[in-house]
């Protein structure tokens, strides 16, 4: 079976992403922590996942919830200490679960000792760890904007120069052209591997090499082209691979906003010795233009959504490996975004699970996705916590947008939609904390919570377990080819998985209408077996004419 395929554990794995701040609070301070995660390892194990991706837990002043690191070799005070971390790794390993950390190496916190030194004087040994430039005509060195709004340069009085920050001004960009910076990062990566981790998710890793000369940009898209995949990016990745990654049987996934075509192949091609896989963002930019930075909703079409997944799969066919995700800690809840979080919440969450877990590529489940958690809608901007939500709110208000309109956009797209506390049970604060949570709990926790999901055999959670098992039992769902059917259908997403003899047909209704999927190709199969579906009672259909109820999902095994 599967000739020519290089089997790897990270290709066959299902990943579970944990946002520690919002997962489980063990000591009542309202902030999730490592001991909280340790206490929930049995639960994580019960889902059937193989890998935990832990969002940043390093020491941080938390201007961006840990994506601003002040010490890479220590744990954030609120989360615990290095012994808790070791215990978490050991606890996970004991259950056969691997653990990958988030490597944030495009920038540090301005409170990192490298930056504290760097800003002291122009001849400080750490000066060149960051990107400093003198003013140009009395202004910023160029017109670049930060991803979180405002200018990408901040003036520093001590030396009278500007430093570059592509994100918040408390997140200065490291200067990867400096060999010492690279060595320092490789050292700390090796240090963590020696502690026992199994890999890294690499934050905005395609931004570490910038366009020399840093030219002005007419718009944000043009600017993006100057900050991603710069001329030395692949050199750095291959160096990192030589110095660190090749020494371990590890897993890597790079966050690569804007990386397309050849650049994808160069980054993950199996002969390239760079990364195992990357996160591409096209499908989460379809209904909201990330680059416009205004959180405005755009109408999206299922046919465009399908084309994105098709292109992504075909591009790497036989060349490299994909990741698959529908949401993460930066995105709204996939269920609220691509399906229905009201009348058909259970059906549509199961439909999305069927989708995620039958694609070629390593699937990533984000905490709460497996119980059908939904977006949140706070009435007041004061209940939000995310820096990019605040910055967008303020900049749009200054563009004349009303606060009502902005709150509506925030309800759809704020990153806090996915950062409300994990809903464990129906007790106060959803069992997340005995104190006051750092961000309010979603009011629907009495219906939507883990305790309920565990006790109900028909729950979304049990369906995830079944889907993961189906994927594990059928390697062809991992490695087999992907063939899109009915590309232009605006309701049904249907595809074949597999090669030669062994094939599965996946049929998903992405709409709340009843519909039919007509497939003449079915005639060449003798019989089929429905292996899973998200409705309890099974409608009778033939493989050439499949009836679908709202958000219905059906997976068939085909026999010829």
Binding mask 28-67 for ligand TEU (x = CB under 6 A): ------------------------------------x--x
- The CB-of-429 to Ca ion minimum distance in angstroms stands at 12
Number of residues forming the site for ligand TEU (CB under 6 A): 14
Q: Which spans in 213-341 are helix H?
A: 220-227, 233-243, 261-268, 302-315, 334-338
Report how far apart, in Å, the C-alpha atoms of 301 and of each of 59, 291, 488, 552 are.
42, 19, 10, 18
Catalytic annotation present for 255: yes
Residue nearest to Ca ion (CB): 33
Catalytic annotation present for 203: yes
- The CB-of-330 to ligand TEU minimum distance in angstroms stands at 3
468 is a site residue for ligand TEU (CB under 6 A): no
> Out of 8, 12, 29, 397, which residue is the one contacting Ca ion (CB under 5 A)?
29
104 is a site residue for ligand TEU (CB under 6 A): yes
Whether the Cβ atoms of residue 495 and residue 553 lie closer than 8 Å to each other: no
- The CB-of-284 to ligand TEU minimum distance in angstroms stands at 8
> Out of 17, 367, 388, 533, which residue is the one contacting ligand TEU (CB under 6 A)?
388
**Interacting residues with ligand TEU between 408 and 427 (CB under 6 A):** 415
Q: Rg for the chain (alpha carbons), in Å?
A: 24
Segment interacting with Ca ion (CB under 5 A) among 30-38, 195-203, 278-286, 471-479: 30-38
> Out of 16, 23, 147, 153, which residue is the one contacting ligand TEU (CB under 6 A)?
147
**Interacting residues with ligand TEU between 296 and 335 (CB under 6 A):** 329-330
Whether the Cβ atoms of residue 473 and residue 504 lie closer than 8 Å to each other: no
- The C-alpha torsion from 483 through 489 and 321 to 279, rounded to 10°, is 180
From the list ligand TEU, Ca ion, none, which binds 29 (C-beta under 5 to 8 Å, kind-based)? Answer: Ca ion
DSSP structure class, residue 418: G
Whether the Cβ atoms of residue 368 and residue 423 lie closer than 8 Å to each other: yes
**Interacting residues with ligand TEU between 183 and 212 (CB under 6 A):** 203-204
Report how far apart, in Å, the C-alpha atoms of 507 and of each of 27, 30, 534, 554 are.
45, 42, 11, 5
> Whose Cβ is closer to ligand TEU: residue 290's or residue 315's?
290
Whether the Cβ atoms of residue 274 and residue 266 lie closer than 8 Å to each other: yes
366 is a site residue for ligand TEU (CB under 6 A): no
Phi, psi of 288 (to 5 degrees): -155, 125
Tokens of 390: 């605040």
Whether the Cβ atoms of residue 165 and residue 172 lie closer than 8 Å to each other: yes
- The CB-of-320 to ligand TEU minimum distance in angstroms stands at 22
Whether the Cβ atoms of residue 152 and residue 220 lie closer than 8 Å to each other: no
253 is a site residue for ligand TEU (CB under 6 A): no
> Whose Cβ is closer to ligand TEU: residue 67's or residue 393's?
67
Number of residues forming the site for Ca ion (CB under 5 A): 5
Distance CA 209, CA 175 (A): 8
The count of C-alpha atoms lying within 13 angstroms of the C-alpha of 469, restricted to the half-sphere facing its C-beta, is 11
> Whose Cβ is closer to ligand TEU: residue 147's or residue 482's?
147
- Contact residues toward ligand TEU (CB under 6 A) are 64, 67, 104, 147, 167, 203-204, 255, 257, 290, 329-330, 388, 415
- Contact residues toward Ca ion (CB under 5 A) are 25, 27, 29, 31, 33
List the catalytic residues: 203, 255
């Amino acid at each position: 079976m599967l000739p020519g395929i290089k089997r790897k554990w990270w290709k066959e794995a299902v990943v579970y992403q944990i946002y520690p701040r919002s997962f489980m609070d063990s000591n009542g301070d309202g902030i999730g922590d490592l001991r909280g995660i340790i206490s929930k390892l049995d639960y994580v194990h019960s889902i059937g996942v193989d890998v935990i991706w832990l969002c940043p837990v390093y020491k941080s002043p938390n201007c961006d919830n840990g994506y601003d690191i002040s010490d890479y070799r220590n744990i954030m005070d609120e989360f615990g200490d290095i012994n808790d971390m070791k215990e978490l790794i050991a606890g996970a390993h004991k259950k056969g679960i691997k653990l990958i950390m988030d490597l944030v190496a495009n920038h540090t916190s301005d409170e990192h000792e490298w930056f504290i030194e760097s800003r002291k004087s122009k001849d400080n040994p750490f000066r060149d760890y960051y990107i400093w430039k003198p003013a140009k005509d009395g202004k910023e060195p160029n017109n670049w904007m930060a991803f979180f709004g405002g200018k990408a340069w901040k003036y520093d009085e001590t030396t009278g120069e500007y430093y570059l920050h592509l994100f918040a001004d408390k997140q200065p960009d490291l200067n990867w052209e400096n060999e010492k910076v690279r060595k320092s990062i490789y050292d700390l990566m090796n240090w963590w591997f020696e502690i026992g981790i199994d890999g890294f998710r690499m934050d905005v890793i395609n931004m570490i090499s910038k366009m020399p000369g840093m030219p002005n940009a007419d718009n944000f898209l043009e600017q993006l082209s100057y900050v991603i995949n710069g001329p030395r990016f692949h050199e750095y990745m291959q160096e990192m691979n030589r110095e660190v990654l090749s020494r371990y049987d590890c897993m890597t996934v790079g966050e690569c906003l804007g990386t397309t075509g050849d650049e994808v192949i160069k980054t993950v091609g199996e002969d390239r010795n760079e990364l195992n896989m990357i996160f591409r963002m096209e499908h989460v930019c379809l209904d909201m233009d990330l680059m416009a930075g205004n959180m405005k909703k755009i109408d999206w079409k299922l046919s465009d959504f399908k084309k994105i997944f098709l292109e992504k799969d075909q591009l790497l066919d036989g060349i490299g490996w994909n990741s698959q995700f529908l949401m993460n800690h930066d995105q709204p809840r996939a269920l609220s975004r691509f399906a229905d979080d009201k009348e058909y919440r259970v059906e549509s969450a199961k439909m999305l699970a069927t989708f995620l877990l039958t694609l070629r590529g390593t699937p990533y489940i984000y905490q709460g996705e497996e119980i059908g958690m939904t977006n949140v809608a706070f009435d007041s901007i004061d209940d939000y916590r995310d820096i990019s939500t605040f910055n967008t709110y303020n900049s749009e208000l200054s563009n004349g947008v009303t606060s009502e309109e902005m709150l509506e956009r925030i309800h759809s797209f704020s990153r806090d939609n996915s950062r409300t506390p994990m809903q464990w049970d129906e007790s106060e604060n959803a069992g997340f904390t005995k104190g006051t949570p750092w961000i309010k709990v979603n009011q629907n926790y009495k219906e939507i919570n883990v305790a309920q999901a565990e006790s109900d055999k028909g729950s979304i959670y049990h369906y995830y377990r079944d889907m993961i098992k189906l994927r594990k039992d059928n390697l062809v769902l991992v490695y087999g080819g992907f063939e899109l059917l009915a590309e232009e259908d605006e309701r049904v997403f249907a595809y074949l998985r597999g090669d030669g003899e062994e094939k599965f047909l996946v049929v998903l209704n992405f709409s709340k209408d009843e519909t039919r999927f007509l497939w003449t190709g079915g005639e060449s199969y003798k019989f089929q077996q429905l292996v899973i579906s998200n409705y309890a009672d099974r409608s009778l259909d033939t493989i050439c004419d499949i009836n679908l109820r709202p958000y219905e999902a059906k997976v068939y095994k085909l026999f010829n």
